[in-house]
């Protein structure tokens, strides 16, 4: 008989829906979403519930992502599952659910996409995080930096299971290189030069595109373009900087959905994530799938697991425009070197697929159930 598994998570983001559908083929999976969307997300989601049961918990959202769904307690009281997985711990709903599970003596698994320890935070905030994170019986971690974060807030090292997090799935057809005429058409339409650095994300301060613009101005490489896709409140500021410095080789595009974004990943020669803070940074996974060399700041959790310095790209400190410029120059040095970067990125990509993510979760579930039965931890 298949295990009955409950996931409580925030919203049906595309990559999670792909994962839930794949996982649901191996267990009786139920997902409770706290909201249909968040104010900073514009995703179109396909395949919701194809291979899993789901419901949206009635409730309200404050700010960007603070969901309050008191109905979660009623749902927990009337339902029974073999495994309970908390998608996070930071919303009021998640805190209510964790407290209910603790009070009823029900062991649960806590998933974390990542984070960065904050030694400067107030004592009460650290105490609160430690209370909720350490109260789990088992932890799912996306990688090296996430594990460090969980341990900082009380997770037991021996009970942390690292899994390869995957972005949205792509078909072999979607991953096929662009036809030369399509590449030429896109470059002509947007006025792009021979070599294209791509970056994707909201035009907000946290994403660090202002640093990337300064770096690209310093790079001053002929036959090279910078393509920024995402749109957002800082677009006016970026356009003013571009105009002030006469940067004719920078192109800004608004937010585009997954399918429309594919051609731009194929068109690009390298991908840059200049973020000031990203718990993970799934866009690096997406770029990896298309074999792009990667440059990222160390303020993206994914950088610690997806980038091998000098192997498939470079990691740099956040806010360091000079280091970013040098990393871009290194990518531009020669086609033979870039070919090696691309090959290594594809090697990484093969280990961060939805199937690998599902297999690792199933291993984690089996291990967790063995531990509950008192068997030796493997």
Query: What CATH number does residue 265 fall under?
Result: 3.40.50.2000
Whether residues 52 and 191 fall in one domain = no
Whether residues 38 and 65 fall in one domain = yes
Whether residues 95 and 233 fall in one domain = no
pLDDT at position 376: 47
- Cα dihedral 309, 314, 320, 324, rounded to 10, equals 140
pLDDT at position 41: 54
Whether residues 141 and 289 fall in one domain = no
Backbone φ and ψ for 5, nearest 5 degrees, come out as: -120, 135
Whether residues 176 and 295 fall in one domain = yes
pLDDT at position 61: 83
Task: Write out the residue range of the structural domain in which residue 265 sits.
Answer: 172-349
Residue 140 lies in a domain: yes
Whether residues 50 and 164 fall in one domain = yes
**Chain position carrying tokens 């990337």:** 212
Whether residues 273 and 294 fall in one domain = yes
**Chain position carrying tokens 């970056």:** 199
Residue 377 lies in a domain: no
Residue 159 DSSP class: G
67-87 pLDDT, tens per residue? Answer: 899 999 999 999 999 999 999
> Do residues 203 and 234 make contact, with C-beta atoms less than 8 angstroms apart?
yes
Residue 378 lies in a domain: no
Residue 117 lies in a domain: yes
Residue 84 lies in a domain: yes
User: In the chain, which stretches have pLDDT less than 50?
Assistant: 376-378
Residue 311 lies in a domain: yes
**Chain position carrying tokens 């999976």:** 29
Going by their DSSP bridges, the two strands 250-254 and 224-230 should be labelled as parallel
> Do residues 301 and 280 make contact, with C-beta atoms less than 8 angstroms apart?
yes
Whether residues 81 and 186 fall in one domain = no
Whether residues 122 and 178 fall in one domain = no
The total number of structural domains in the chain stands at: 2
Whether residues 198 and 343 fall in one domain = yes
Rounded to whole angstroms, the Cα distance separating 210 from 228 reads 11
pLDDT at position 378: 47
Residue 66 lies in a domain: yes
Q: Which are the contacts of 101, defined by CB distance < 8 A and separation ≥ 6?
A: 76, 84, 107, 108
pLDDT at position 377: 47
Whether residues 21 and 62 fall in one domain = yes
């Amino acid at each position: 008989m298949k295990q009955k598994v409950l996931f409580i998570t925030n919203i049906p983001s595309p990559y999670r829906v792909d994962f839930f559908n794949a996982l649901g083929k191996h267990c009786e999976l139920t997902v409770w979403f706290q909201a249909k969307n968040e104010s900073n997300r514009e995703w179109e989601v396909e395949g919701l519930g194809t291979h899993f049961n789901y419901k949206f918990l009635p409730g309200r959202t404050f700010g960007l992502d603070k969901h309050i769904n008191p109905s979660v307690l009623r749902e927990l009281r009337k339902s029974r599952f073999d495994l309970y997985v908390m998608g996070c711990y930071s919303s009021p709903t998640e805190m209510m659910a964790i407290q209910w599970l603790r009070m009823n003596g029900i062991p649960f698994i806590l998933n974390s996409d990542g984070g960065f320890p904050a030694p400067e935070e107030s004592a009460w905030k650290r105490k609160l995080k430690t209370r909720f994170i350490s109260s789990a019986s088992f932890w799912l971690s996306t990688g090296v930096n996430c594990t460090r974060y969980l341990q900082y807030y009380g997770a037991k090292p021996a009970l942390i299971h690292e899994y390869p997090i995957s972005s949205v799935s792509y078909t072999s057809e979607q991953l096929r290189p662009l036809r030369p005429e399509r590449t030429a058409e896109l470059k002509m339409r947007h006025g792009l030069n021979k070599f294209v650095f791509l970056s994707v994300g909201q035009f907000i301060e946290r994403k660090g595109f202002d640093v990337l613009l300064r770096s690209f101005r310093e790079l001053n490489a002929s036959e090279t373009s910078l393509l920024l896709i995402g749109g957002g409140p800082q677009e006016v500021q970026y356009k003013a900087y571009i105009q002030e410095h006469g940067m004719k080789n920078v192109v800004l595009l608004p937010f585009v959905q997954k399918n429309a974004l594919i051609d731009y990943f194929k068109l690009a020669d390298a991908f840059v994530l200049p973020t000031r803070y990203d718990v993970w940074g799934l866009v690096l996974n997406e770029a990896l799938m298309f074999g792009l060399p990667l440059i990222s700041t160390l303020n993206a959790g994914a950088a610690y697991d997806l980038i091998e310095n000098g192997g498939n790209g470079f990691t740099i400190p956040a806010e360091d425009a000079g280091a970013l410029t040098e990393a871009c120059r290194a990518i531009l040095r020669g086609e033979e070197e870039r070919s090696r970067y691309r090959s290594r990125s594809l090697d990484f990509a093969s280990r961060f697929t939805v199937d690998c993510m599902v297999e690792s979760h199933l291993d984690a579930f089996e291990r967790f159930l063995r531990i509950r039965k008192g068997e030796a931890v493997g």
